[in-house]
């Protein structure tokens, strides 16, 4: 049996998850080979993530238990981006981004910590109130943009001598603040690019935006667009029109394509690994189809895994109507 891999719960666009993926990649770890990547839908966090970390923000890294013996579950969880970065770079840090083990680098380590604290604290505070102004009614976004720019000017000045925040070599600070500077620019790219007093920072950001490291963790195997599915939820493919009718009626009573619950006696569903095949067999030409994510704990009728008559493979069957409250999401396929 293949060894269990560390599991990274991630969200492609989240700046915290981006910096964690950058550090994992810098440590030479590859999704699929060295860790399992689970792209999370933040509006519907999987039970496994909630179990691992009560605050359930991404990123979270869950390590497999040591082969040698039992470990406390909490010891196996790296619950935030900084802990994930630290774990990855403690394994392998070819560029010594953390400046660890360098006897004369205590000042640099302190500077890294201070820059990250400034980013995660005051810069993020202003960034959110500028970028997501609608979430902060009563706050003046321009005021927050100005305060964020003031911090960026400080970083830009630090970059001037050597091109990196700590001089001539990249450090953990560059990796940790990059996704947030990128976010600031995305909120008003033209305004950012016109800012004449930020030339070193603009060059630094462009190097990342055009270089291979960021591109690698934003695309391909690091960021599958299809959300990861929980084995502890079940899934049902529904015709969009029938789902709309169910929402109006307050309950869903279709079994499968062309058949009602009353005719079949139960509602067909699929496990996380069965959705694709079910879609291909029965729904590929069905027009507008939605994938319902169902929380089994919210069902009111019995759920039984029963063999399909043709293959013998067990599928989840809901022996009664599907209450709308049990449906966590209804998304186009």
Work out whether 50 is an interface residue with ligand GSH (CB under 6 A).
no
Q: Which of 318, 319, 321, 325 is nearest to 235 (CA)?
A: 318
Size of the site for ligand GSH (CB under 6 A): 10
Angle, CA of 224, 227 and 232, to the nearest 5°: 135
Bond from prior residue into 59 cis (ω within 30 degrees of 0):
yes
Which residues, 1 to 40, sit near ligand GSH by CB under 6 A?
11, 14, 16
Given the rule CB under 6 A, which of 29-37, 80-88, 92-100, 199-207 is the region that contacts ligand GSH? Answer: 80-88
Given the rule CB under 6 A, which of 57-65, 130-138, 188-196, 225-233 is the region that contacts ligand GSH? Answer: 57-65
Work out whether 271 is an interface residue with ligand GSH (CB under 6 A).
no
Given the rule CB under 6 A, which of 54-62, 92-100, 233-241, 261-269 is the region that contacts ligand GSH? Answer: 54-62
Distance (Å, whole) CA 154 – CA 147 = 11
Exposure pattern of 95-118 as b/e (b: 16+ CB <10 Å)?
Answer: ebbbbeeeeebeebbebbeebbeb
Distance (Å, whole) CA 52 – CA 283 = 35
Q: Structure tokens of 246?
A: 């169910």
Given the rule CB under 6 A, which of 77-85, 109-117, 160-168, 180-188 is the region that contacts ligand GSH? Answer: 77-85
Distance (Å, whole) CA 281 – CA 291 = 15
Specify the residue, 41 or 257, whose C-beta has the smaller distance to ligand GSH. 41
Out of 10, 57, 230, 278, the only residue in the binding site for ligand GSH (CB under 6 A) is 57
Taking residue 57's Cβ as centre, other Cβ atoms within 10 Å add up to: 18
Work out whether 234 is an interface residue with ligand GSH (CB under 6 A).
no
Specify the residue, 170 or 179, whose C-beta has the smaller distance to ligand GSH. 179
Min separation Cβ 311 and ligand GSH, Å: 39
Distance (Å, whole) CA 278 – CA 254 = 16
Q: How far apart are the first and last CA of the chain?
A: 33
Min separation Cβ 58 and ligand GSH, Å: 4
Which residues, 273 to 332, sit near ligand GSH by CB under 6 A?
none
Work out whether 80 is an interface residue with ligand GSH (CB under 6 A).
yes
Cβ atoms of 88 and 29 closer than 8 Å:
yes
Given the rule CB under 6 A, which of 25-33, 55-63, 177-185, 268-276 is the region that contacts ligand GSH? Answer: 55-63
List, in sequence order, every residue forming a beta bridge with 315; answer none if it has no partner.
Answer: 306
Work out whether 42 is an interface residue with ligand GSH (CB under 6 A).
yes
Work out whether 115 is an interface residue with ligand GSH (CB under 6 A).
no
Min separation Cβ 81 and ligand GSH, Å: 4
Cβ atoms of 302 and 267 closer than 8 Å:
no
Specify the residue, 80 or 108, whose C-beta has the smaller distance to ligand GSH. 80
- Interacting residue ranges for ligand GSH, rule: CB under 6 A: 11, 14, 16, 42, 57-59, 80-82
């Amino acid at each position: 049996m293949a060894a269990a891999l560390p599991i990274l719960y991630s969200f492609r666009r989240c700046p915290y998850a981006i910096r964690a993926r950058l550090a994992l990649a810098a440590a030479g770890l590859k999704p699929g080979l060295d860790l399992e990547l689970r792209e999370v839908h933040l509006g519907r966090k999987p039970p496994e993530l909630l179990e691992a970390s009560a605050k359930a923000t991404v990123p979270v890294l869950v390590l497999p238990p040591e082969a040698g013996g039992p470990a406390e579950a909490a010891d196996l969880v790296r619950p935030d981006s900084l802990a994930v970065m630290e774990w990855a770079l403690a394994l392998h840090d070819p560029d010594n981004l953390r400046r660890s083990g360098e006897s004369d680098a205590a000042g640099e380590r302190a500077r890294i910590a201070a820059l990250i604290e400034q980013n995660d604290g005051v810069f993020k505070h202003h960034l959110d109130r500028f970028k997501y102004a609608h979430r902060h009614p009563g706050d003046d976004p321009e005021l927050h943009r100005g305060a964020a720019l003031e911090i960026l000017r400080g970083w830009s000045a630090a970059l001037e001598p050597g091109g990196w925040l700590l001089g001539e070599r990249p450090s953990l600070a560059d990796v940790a603040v990059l996704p947030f500077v990128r976010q600031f620019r995305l909120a008003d790219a033209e305004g950012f690019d016109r800012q004449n007093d930020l030339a070193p920072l603009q060059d630094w950001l462009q190097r990342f935006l055009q270089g291979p490291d960021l591109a690698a963790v934003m695309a391909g195997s690091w960021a599958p667009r299809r959300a990861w599915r929980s084995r502890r939820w079940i899934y049902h493919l529904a015709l969009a029109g029938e789902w709309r009718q169910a929402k109006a009626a307050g309950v869903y009573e279709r079994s499968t394509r062309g058949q009602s619950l009353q005719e079949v006696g139960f509602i067909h569903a699929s496990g996380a690994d069965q959705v694709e095949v079910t879609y291909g067999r029965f729904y590929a030409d069905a027009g507008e189809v939605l994938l319902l994510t169902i929380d089994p704990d919210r069902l009111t009728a019995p759920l039984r895994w029963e063999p399909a008559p043709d293959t013998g493979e067990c599928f989840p069957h809901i022996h009664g109507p599907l209450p709308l409250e049990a449906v966590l999401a209804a998304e186009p396929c």
